[in-house]
Structure 1
């Protein structure tokens, strides 16, 4: 029985485990982001429209950050990019708490997301370097497990910190954990003493911007990211305004996402990988579950809706993100890994720019339920795009 439980966690290199530990420490400190919309409205007094523009600045910084992260990972290596990003992010978090005006906050969150998201493509390049082809999806899942385990701890602790000492405590926690993660990376991961585990297959050196199926895949992931961002922008406000939930209660509900992922994602992914399940089929099924998570929020008022929505969203995330990420990593063998993974990460960065802002504007002009129906429609379009990508890949294999 015990052997069955630990089987999904076997076969990883020590570097992958180090990356998972560093990621966990970093994400455990991500306490500001789930409460960002509440912090900006309740503590700083900004309107929903102003919050939307602040989050767009956050997204623009993220977009530039992942682009630079991909470029720098190919030019100077993932190691320097990762530790520089973590240490600088810690410093920006500590400074950001003192910004009060709309312009200062916009600039501050732009700078934060820029230096923080340089890390993202570098992480995936590092993971690809230190994982074998046969366990790459599981390696992605292990990193996601670390992210979500940390993220399940973060909101719960964040809610307690807000109650105890206020929102400024979150910035101190985020800043210090980023610095700790940077120090751990310097201590644990030594790229000069390790070499890539496997030789890359013959590369085509194709630009990701000329890879048509990959661009359609990117558009589908952008739509998913656009909708997923609502869980960190409009959804917490919905829980607060429609269900009268406190920050502590909202943090606990959001933490359920990480707890479910911690308990079941690795066994599910291990089972699906062993069964050689089609990656794109799982990506499509995961998108369907995300779509349903928004549809249920249109049901008449019931206190169980927030929990049901989070559960459906989590199941969709479990199926969609590991397999879509692995698809991107495999596609990256066609050219520069940094460029491909930067473009993949940019789908979420562009979603950061547009998703929260448009979600806030829709909600302020109409109502929450209109926003949920728009998100469901966009996710349906994403499913269609993934079906087209699957068909194009099948035709390419025949030729």
Structure 2
């Protein structure tokens, strides 16, 4: 292993450690939000579904806004405000759950808070990627982005375990703890900012003050980006079935959650152990979009394998490893592609546009649930495997468009005064 590749400047390490903090905190609360609202607050399942779904709405629409604001006013201010507000939102969850009032009022409070929670989460996720792109060298880019993705998965795996061990999972205290983790991340960023201000801040100057209309127009007319985002929506539409429909299918087949837990553990172990070495090796030989095409094949293959695994534990494990390889190729290297095509003064907006892909994640569980009421689990997974294959043509077209753009002189986007 080349340890020199990990000799980042302190800001990059703070970003990566902060991502770990944030994911540990949020994974103690967000996965258990529906359970908490229904079983402890007494809100109906339908209303609970609406509350949980509001965050995906702000995921989809809010990323571009946060990225644009960071381009215009600087990463430090925008990310700092998002982390401060994100922590306040979780404290608001705790307060809302403690208030002795009607369920309608509590549901309304949680719905509003979760809408903003989704907004500030997508801001923090996309802006940390934009900050990495600002600071990291070309030689360290692949390692830095892969490490961020791996650490995020480690945090998501550790959070529920630590929450259960401490006794926070599904309790009001978990909301306050997550708020503290957000502020701990903010404190680390502010501390390092005072010591490496030149590397940290992209100050808003006349060279990057562009209007939001111009930013949106530029993104819309970037054919390579547009095709990539649509491909991402389709990929998420298929990928999210693991988090929603697959669990229901396995409950029907096995009558319990043990196999589903085993599959999720396999996913986490595969990502943590293989993501950095396999992407580092492959990106030296192929472009990100070429790997995304291969990843779509793997996602489809994994879904087909799990659809036809029946009661075989080994088949589920093998299929999940194949599926996770697809996840690694499709989702972990998107930031590298975005950094490659983004104009310098619109880097935040380009990274923010990644949020539009969450439309697939928002509607995927709904479509999967409807199909599962009509067809068998085997047929449903086969349908989504075919959908996953549909993204291949979009990634291929995006790759060709990007290659054509490289033949055109790359000019900075004109700014407004």
Could you say which TM-score interval applies, normalised by the shorter chain? 0.7 to 0.9
Counterpart position of 2:239: 228
Secondary structure at the counterpart of residue 115 of structure 2: helix
- Cα 1:249/1:5, change in 2 over 3 Å: farther
- Contact 2:62/2:123, CA 8 A, preserved across alignment: yes
Counterpart position of 1:213: 224
Pairwise CA RMSD: 3.4
CA distance in 1, matches of 2:146, 2:194: 23
Partner of residue 86 from structure 1, selected from 83, 87, 103: 83
Is 1:130 matched with 2:135? yes
CA distance in 1, matches of 2:178, 2:286: 38
Partner of residue 15 from structure 2, selected from 10, 16, 19: 19
Unaligned runs of 5+ in 2: 98-102, 209-213, 409-417
Shift of 1:211: 0.8
CA distance in 1, matches of 2:20, 2:269: 13
CA distance in 2, matches of 1:39, 1:371: 29
- Cα 1:84/1:250, change in 2 over 3 Å: farther
What are the superposed Cα offsets for residues 16-71 of structure 1, whole Å, 9 maximum, x if unpaired?
A: 11111111111122323344555566656777765553343121122233132112
- Cα 1:49/1:309, change in 2 over 3 Å: farther
CA distance in 1, matches of 2:324, 2:12: 24
1:138-217 maps to which residues of 2 (within 5 A)? 138-158=143-163, 166-168=170-172, 170-190=174-194, 193-195=197-199, 207-217=218-228
What are the superposed Cα offsets for residues 293-351 of structure 1, whole Å, 9 maximum, x if unpaired?
A: 22222122334455444423321122222333211111113761122111123222x23
- Cα 1:27/1:166, change in 2 over 3 Å: closer
TM-score by length of 2: 0.80
- Contact 2:250/2:259, CA 8 A, preserved across alignment: no
- Contact 1:239/1:250, CA 8 A, preserved across alignment: yes
- Contact 2:150/2:272, CA 8 A, preserved across alignment: yes
Secondary structure at the counterpart of residue 231 of structure 2: helix
TM-score by length of 1: 0.83
- Cα 1:226/1:188, change in 2 over 3 Å: farther
Larger CA deviation: 82-91 vs 18-27: 82-91
Counterpart position of 2:279: 269
- Cα 1:53/1:373, change in 2 over 3 Å: farther
Is 1:283 matched with 2:283? no
- Contact 1:25/1:177, CA 8 A, preserved across alignment: yes
- Contact 1:49/1:357, CA 8 A, preserved across alignment: no
Shift of 1:161: 6.2
Counterpart position of 2:100: none
Shift of 1:172: 4.0
Shift of 1:90: 2.2
Larger CA deviation: 150-159 vs 119-128: 150-159
Partner of residue 258 from structure 1, selected from 251, 259, 268: 268
CA distance in 2, matches of 1:172, 1:307: 36
- Cα 1:158/1:253, change in 2 over 3 Å: farther
- Contact 1:148/1:257, CA 8 A, preserved across alignment: no
Aligned length in residues: 388
CA distance in 1, matches of 2:376, 2:32: 21
CA distance in 1, matches of 2:170, 2:53: 25
Q: Look at both structures and tell me which one has the larger radius of gyration over its CA atoms.
A: 2
Shift of 1:87: 2.6
Is 1:56 matched with 2:53? yes
Counterpart position of 2:412: none
Partner of residue 340 from structure 2, selected from 330, 335, 356: 330
CA distance in 1, matches of 2:378, 2:259: 21
- Contact 2:23/2:152, CA 8 A, preserved across alignment: yes
- Cα 1:375/1:269, change in 2 over 3 Å: same
Unaligned runs of 5+ in 1: none
- Contact 2:18/2:188, CA 8 A, preserved across alignment: yes
- Cα 1:80/1:236, change in 2 over 3 Å: farther
